[in-house]
A and B are shown apart, each in its own frame.
Chain A
């Protein structure tokens, strides 16, 4: 049994973070300075850099500021940006969380806002630390998975090991989310055969076809130079490895960033925007994927890396699973799990069980490697989505 912090919407958090959110890049420095003395005490910076309004960004910020791991929110506005801070504050306040908005242009500038912000944070942190823990079932846990810096080892060690852990989590009633439809190109047929209904299967196929068309317009696949250095030769080869993270469970639904899965099971997140290609690459780096997982309620993320990603995230712990044993030897302190030992005789199931056990320990408070190193990356950019169709969440 896990322990969590009960929120007013019934969800439970595995951390009690105070989020300081800037609402335009012009307020980023002030937010960062407010958090600086309290980084190790549970305050984190999130935010949206754009000055132009965007429905996706508004929704993402609302979901993130009411994420079960977040206990209080301080909004930092410059004052003239287009982001609807009034609606965001109202949404947060409706959940019962402490929330305050500081507007730099009204508060007297940089120094005055930093001082007011630090006073507010200092007053809230002891309250958050004292929040009571309640029993939390595994069926209340939401786990995401991403991979980044993949190579020829990813599909043999780290990704299938996470697939085994996902199978155990789904069987225990948890909600598991995999994503990056641009890295499932070539897998749409075998993946759709696992859908709970034929209609959902068609939606899954369509989401990958949309990704293929989107990337074709951009002229690049979801493929970085380091992938080739590590032995991957094509997007479909990378896809087969990435797909293994999803395990073997039936697929219960298709969601888009910010949609909260309605019940336990395995979900695909469609991260590629709808409509014409507008704002550039769907996710400009791995952290954008982690942020979208969090917006859909993920309490933590299983991150498989082979070339060696070191990142974490601001609101939800990241468990780093290293697929490549040579990388693990070089970056041991940054990694939580050495999945590369499968290449020297360790059974895959042993690594899958280790990931499952570690997931529960981290949910119960154990720090991950990236948490202990202070990693708290966050990135959110422009996108546009249409709502999912009725076939995406079969009852």
Chain B
């Protein structure tokens, strides 16, 4: 069960569980130092849009992506801390994810 945010959200990045290796953007974010809700900050390497994930620490190819404290798939390449984590560098361990290339990045590159 997502350990839901009992504390109000006031920062750009949200950590949903202590063991997670990804953080969630609570709004559109630009590269640079970004505050993490509950304390700390993280250097974002690229812009991400609302609801997208960034690596909280380096993630090796093949490693599980942890969000809500559980695996949501596996890294398909090495991912640096602060990088966008999405369908271009991770995949489901169940069924392939259907995307339209024109929209999959959340408009970040559009």
Which A residues contact B (CB, under 8 angstroms)? Answer: 151-153, 155-156, 160, 185-186, 190, 212, 215-216, 219-221, 223-226, 228-237, 240-241, 243-244, 248, 306, 324-326, 342-348
B44 contacts chain A at the CB level, 8 A cutoff: no
Flag if B92 contacts A221 (CB, 8 Å).
Answer: yes
Most buried by B among A186, A190, A226, A229: A229
Chain A positions within 8 Å of B95 at CB level: 185, 212, 215-216, 219-221, 223, 235
Give B110 Cβ to nearest chain A Cβ, in Å: 10
Flag if A225 contacts B104 (CB, 8 Å).
Answer: yes
Report the bound CA distance from A235 to B49 in whole Å.
20
B106 contacts chain A at the CB level, 8 A cutoff: yes
Flag if A152 contacts B50 (CB, 8 Å).
Answer: yes
Query: Contact partner of A233 among B1, B70, B72, B103, CB < 8 A?
Result: B72
Chain A positions within 8 Å of B99 at CB level: 225, 228
Residue of B nearest to A224 (CB): B98
Chain B window 81-108, contacts with chain A (Cβ cutoff 8 Å), 1 for yes, 0 for no: 0000111001111111111100111110
Give B68 Cβ to nearest chain A Cβ, in Å: 5
Flag if A234 contacts B91 (CB, 8 Å).
Answer: yes
Most buried by B among A230, A231, A346: A231
Chain A positions within 8 Å of B16 at CB level: 156
Flag if B96 contacts A221 (CB, 8 Å).
Answer: yes
Query: Contact partner of A235 among B85, B94, B107, CB < 8 A?
Result: B94
Flag if B98 contacts A223 (CB, 8 Å).
Answer: yes
Q: A156-B4, A234-B72, A235-B92 are in contact. List 16 more A-B contacts (CB 8 A).
A: A151-B51, A153-B50, A185-B95, A190-B70, A221-B92, A225-B98, A229-B106, A231-B25, A231-B52, A233-B85, A233-B86, A234-B73, A236-B94, A240-B67, A343-B27, A347-B8
Report the bound CA distance from A186 to B92 in whole Å.
10
Interface size of B by CB at 8 A reads 46
Flag if A233 contacts B87 (CB, 8 Å).
Answer: yes
Number of A-B contacts (CB under 8 A): 150
Flag if B103 contacts A226 (CB, 8 Å).
Answer: yes
B24 contacts chain A at the CB level, 8 A cutoff: yes
Chain A positions within 8 Å of B73 at CB level: 233-234, 236-237
Which B residues contact A (CB, under 8 angstroms)? Answer: 1-2, 4-6, 8-10, 14, 16, 24-27, 48-53, 65, 67-68, 70-73, 85-87, 90-100, 103-107
Residue of A nearest to B70 (CB): A240
Flag if B51 contacts A152 (CB, 8 Å).
Answer: yes
Contacts A186-B70, A231-B106, A233-B86: A160 and B4 contacting too (C-beta < 8 A)?
Answer: yes
Report the bound CA distance from A68 to B27 in whole Å.
42
Flag if A152 contacts B103 (CB, 8 Å).
Answer: no
Flag if B94 contacts A240 (CB, 8 Å).
Answer: no
Report the bound CA distance from A223 to B25 in whole Å.
21
Flag if B72 contacts A186 (CB, 8 Å).
Answer: yes
Give B102 Cβ to nearest chain A Cβ, in Å: 9
Flag if B2 contacts A240 (CB, 8 Å).
Answer: yes
Chain B positions within 8 Å of A156 at CB level: 2, 4-5, 14, 16, 24, 26
Report the bound CA distance from A356 to B106 in whole Å.
32
Report the bound CA distance from A333 to B82 in whole Å.
37
Flag if B53 contacts A152 (CB, 8 Å).
Answer: yes
Give A360 Cβ to nearest chain B Cβ, in Å: 23
Chain B positions within 8 Å of A236 at CB level: 70-73, 92-94
Residue of A nearest to B104 (CB): A228
Chain A positions within 8 Å of B10 at CB level: 344-345
Flag if A244 contacts B92 (CB, 8 Å).
Answer: no
In the complex, 22 of the A-B residue pairs with CB atoms within 8 angstroms, ordered by the A residue number, are: A151-B51, A156-B2, A212-B94, A215-B95, A216-B94, A220-B98, A221-B95, A223-B95, A223-B97, A228-B99, A228-B103, A229-B105, A231-B25, A233-B91, A233-B92, A234-B91, A236-B92, A236-B93, A240-B70, A306-B51, A325-B50, A343-B9
